[in-house]
Amino acid sequence: MDESRRQFIAIGATAAMGALLPRAAGAAGPIPNAAAGSLRLVTYSAGGVAPRIGAVKPSGRIVDLGAAAKAKGVHLAFDPARMVSLIAAGEVAVAQARKLMLEGPDDGPSVADVRLLAPIPDPVRNVYAVGWNYLEHFKEGEAMRLKTAELPEHPVFFTKGVGTVNGPYDPIPYDASVSTAIDWECELAVIIGKRGKNIAEADAMGHVFGYCVINDTTARDLQQKKHGGQWFKGKSLDGHGPMGPWIVAAADVDYRNLHLITRVNGVVKQDASTEQMYFKVPRIIAELSAGLTLEPGDIIATGTPPGVGYARKPPEVLKPGDVMESEIVEIGLIRNTIGGT
């Protein structure tokens, strides 16, 4: 499939999810109103007020959950300033948020007129991540290593430091004295909702709160060459984990067949489906939780499909001013400028 055809399909699929919203401050283009009608939970700030939680109506306007509950005399089961509080409160909180989204006023600010933060802007623990979870990505990595390798019998886990978490439309820091080989990796992020350890694969989905988009932005020169090859350091530079634009409740998304797309300056670089995952979400949760307790608000990046920059011929890297778009059509799109302000 040629690049123009890929972009045509991607744009059409996005538009089918809902009307395009106006441009947000600092965003290079309109925000697709993806997943309209689903429960979309955002952490946002506006007018100098401290960040708070909102639910996005199909119109693209935000219902301030704390203010809406107060107006209706509803006692919330969670702290409306903390997404992790809502996540930990479970089904009761989800039901309250969904009801407020449906019944709340449609006169709140548009998502285009506020600053959307990462849905979980200050995670307590590192972001868990899975390497080589799409067969074609494993093969392209194998080609770069110039040697064959057996397919893994178990998911390969690593973590990204908490400082990597970045907003869905915020700039990605760029420091040429540290790395000049920044690469893209669009991924489905799974948000854990229920505490658990040694979780059986058959029970794993009962521990999922929802999903969002994440880009496992990577400094390849640190990961592969400098300092002897540092996965953690190469994956953990500040701001190298943009995520969002919102969390979509698990009940509203079929994780098994989601369309992932990465564009750099409008050109499609990755185009795949979660159907191609080697280790599916339940297996990932079961293996990660073996002897390791997962907590509400934990973030799991489930691996990237083929099409990353370092495996291209010739290799491609992100440069200051480049615009990286990471989209899961059924969830939403994040857009980040490299080295922007």
Query: What is the Cα–Cα distance from 267 to 107, expressed in whole angstroms?
Result: 36
> What is the pLDDT at residue 241?
98
C-beta of residue 156 within 8 angstroms of C-beta of residue 131: yes
pLDDT in 10s for each residue of the chain, 341 residues:
333 333 323 333 333 334 577 765 555 567 778 999 999 999 999 988 899 999 999 999 999 999 999 999 999 999 999 999 999 999 999 999 999 999 998 999 999 999 999 999 999 999 999 988 987 645 555 545 445 567 778 999 999 999 999 999 999 999 999 999 999 999 999 999 999 999 999 999 999 999 999 999 999 999 886 666 678 999 999 999 999 999 999 999 999 999 999 999 999 999 999 999 999 999 999 999 999 999 999 999 999 999 999 989 999 999 999 999 999 999 999 999 999 65
| 139 contacts: CB under 8 Å, gap ≥ 6 | 306
> What is the pLDDT at residue 12?
34
Q: How far is CA 125 from CA 278, 295, 341, in A?
A: 26, 9, 27
Q: Where in the chain are the domains? A: 24-116, 127-337
End-to-end Cα separation, the chain, in angstroms: 35
pTM above 0.85, yes or no: yes
Please enumerate, as own/partner, the contacts of 309-315 that have beta carbons within 8 Å and a separation of 24 or more: 309/183, 309/184, 309/220, 309/264, 309/269, 310/144, 310/181, 310/183, 310/220, 310/224, 311/140, 311/141, 311/143, 311/144, 315/181
Beta bridge partners of 212: 189
> What is the pLDDT at residue 7?
36
Domain 127-337, CATH number (from 3.40.980.10, 3.40.50.150, 3.40.640.10, 3.90.850.10): 3.90.850.10
Tokens of 97: 């948020």
Query: What is the Cα–Cα distance from 94 to 92, expressed in whole angstroms?
Result: 6
> What is the pLDDT at residue 5?
30
> What is the pLDDT at residue 4?
34
Tokens of 124: 């307590």
Question: Identity (one letter) of the amino acid at 182?
Answer: I
Q: How far is CA 183 from CA 69, 130, 200, 300, in A?
A: 42, 16, 34, 19
Query: What is the Cα–Cα distance from 131 to 141, expressed in whole angstroms?
Result: 10
> What is the pLDDT at residue 20?
73
Name the strand (E) or helix (H) holding 105.
none
Beta-sheet pairing, 299-301 with 127-131: parallel
Place of tokens 């400028």: 337
